Amino acid sequence: MANKLRTGAMTRAGGKWACGLLALLLSGGVAQAQDLSLENARISLLPGDMPGAGYFSLQNDGAEDVTLVGAQSDAFENTEIHMSMEKDGMASMHAVPEIDIAAGQRFEFAPKGYHLMFMHRAAPLEVGDDVEVVLHFADGQQLPATFEVVSPTAMH
């Protein structure tokens, strides 16, 4: 989106050069996105303004380790990486600033463990809706993904 806007603002003379640059940027982006992939992306959604939890399986097929540093979705005001813990019969949850995923490794965001905490939805959502989420990595990579809204009763 940002690239498109920038290209549109260019003069005609600079257009060709900008298109070439844009193509280069995009191809770079595509190559990176192929290294990182998301499977089984779901948002378990509670009613009203109660927060939802995002679960998925993140595969890093690249040659480099990556560090997940956050996520963003226009459907929610605030999205954070959280981790649930259970110790001595007590459950607790806290925010996690970043998660390293080594080259060739798969990392699971699953119930009672790591999850994305989606807070304050921008518009009402229903089970079956799709929500676009972008995962952000420390090296600047962005991985867009579609999460399906599911009922919390589906998660057990």
Partner 1 sequence: MLKWLSPIILSALLAGCEDPNWHTSDISDIMPDLDLSLVDENGEQVEEDAYTGKTTLLYFGYTHCPDVCPTSLARMTAAIKKLDESARDDIQVLFVSVDPERDTPARLRQYTDVFGPQFIGLTGNTEQLDELTNRYRVSYGYGDKDANGNYDVSHSSGIFVFNAQGDARLLMRNSDPIPSMVSDLKRLMARG
Count Cβ neighbours within 10 Å for each residue of 5-40 and write b for 16 or more, e otherwise. Answer: eeeeeeeeeeeeebeeeeeeeeeeeeebeebbebee
Greatest distance between any 2 Cα atoms in the chain: 68
Q: Does 155 bind partner 1 (CB under 8 A)?
A: yes
128 binds partner 1 (CB under 8 A): no
What residues have CB less than 8 Å from 20, skipping those under 6 apart?
none
CB of 136 to partner 1, least distance (A): 19
Site residues (CB under 8 A) for partner 1, limited to 38-77: 44, 46-48, 50-53
Of 11-19, 23-31, 68-76, 145-153, the segment contacting partner 1 by CB under 8 A is 145-153
List binders of partner 1 among 78-97 (CB under 8 A): 78, 82, 84, 86, 88-95
Residue 152's contacts (CB-CB under 8 Å, 6 or more residues apart) are 44, 45, 46
Q: Supply the minimum distance, in Å, between the C-beta of residue 99 and partner 1.
A: 15
Q: Which stretches of the chain bind partner 1, using CB under 8 A? A: 44, 46-48, 50-53, 78, 82, 84, 86, 88-95, 111-113, 115, 117-119, 151-156
